Amino acid sequence: MARPASGVIWAYRFDGEGRARPVPLDDTIVPTAPGEGFLWVHLDFVNRLARDWVNCVGWLGQDARRLLLSADDYPALEYDTQSVWGRFSDTLQDPDEDSDRTVPMRFAFGPGYLVSGRRHPVRAAALTRKKVDGGQVVGGPVALFEMMIDQVLRAVAETLRASRAEADSIEDRVLDESP
């Protein structure tokens, strides 16, 4: 089963030069041959059809499939000789909620592919997609994964800056009120 009827949020095929083009969601979704680029598929794991697709796709290892489909939310990183998979914490990307709440982002990558997914909209994937749509050239699945991690680190830095500014403001008010 290579064509999920639903649950794919987006898919891109990157050519050998690292330029992306969207994959129609009804196309067959398979990794790209070595040297010809790679595939990025981003899934909504709330959708049963996406979970069914991951469970049946033969090019993802059994352990990677198990972690992608797991209900666990804690960070994890695993690998074998061909691929890397895991979960990391990302910030919620919800225009209706001004929050720094973290939610898990799941991933697996190997030769010719990166599969990512979530149960809630995540910031790293959305910002990375924006860069890809803007023409960012990406050298491979690892480089794309690094772009996502960079977005997470930027969000952490923003949160720390905001917390420091708030703490400084509180300290200033306390000092202004002291005799």
Q: Would you place residue 1 in the very low, low, confident or very high pLDDT band (cuts 50, 70, 90)?
A: very low
Task: Give the pLDDT score at 38.
Answer: 95
Q: Name the more confident of 63 and 175.
A: 63
118 pLDDT higher than 80: yes
Q: Report the C-alpha gap between 81 and 11 in whole angstroms.
A: 25
Indicate the range of 43-57, 63-77, 99-113, 125-139 predicted with least confidence.
99-113
The domain in which residue 156 lies consists of 8-177
11 pLDDT higher than 70: yes
User: DSSP E strands: which ranges in the chain?
Assistant: 8-14, 20-22, 38-44, 76-79, 84-91, 102-110, 113-118
Q: Name the more confident of 72 and 173.
A: 72
Identify whether the C-beta of residue 115 lies closer than 8 Å to the C-beta of residue 108: yes
pLDDT tens-digit readout, 13-61: 999 999 999 998 878 788 887 788 999 999 999 999 899 989 888 889 9
104 pLDDT higher than 90: no
How much is the average pLDDT of 142-153? 90
Please spell the DSSP secondary structure of 127-153, one letter per residue. HHHHHHHTT----SHHHHHHHHHHHHH
Q: Name the more confident of 131 and 123.
A: 131
Query: How many structural domains is the chain composed of?
Result: 1
Average per-residue pLDDT in the chain?
84
Would you say the pTM of this structure is higher than 0.75? yes
Return the top range by mean pLDDT from 89-103, 115-129, 150-164.
Answer: 115-129
Asked if residue 1 belongs to a domain, the reply is: no
Asked if residue 74 belongs to a domain, the reply is: yes
CATH number of the structural domain spanning residue 106:
3.30.460.20
Asked if residue 54 belongs to a domain, the reply is: yes
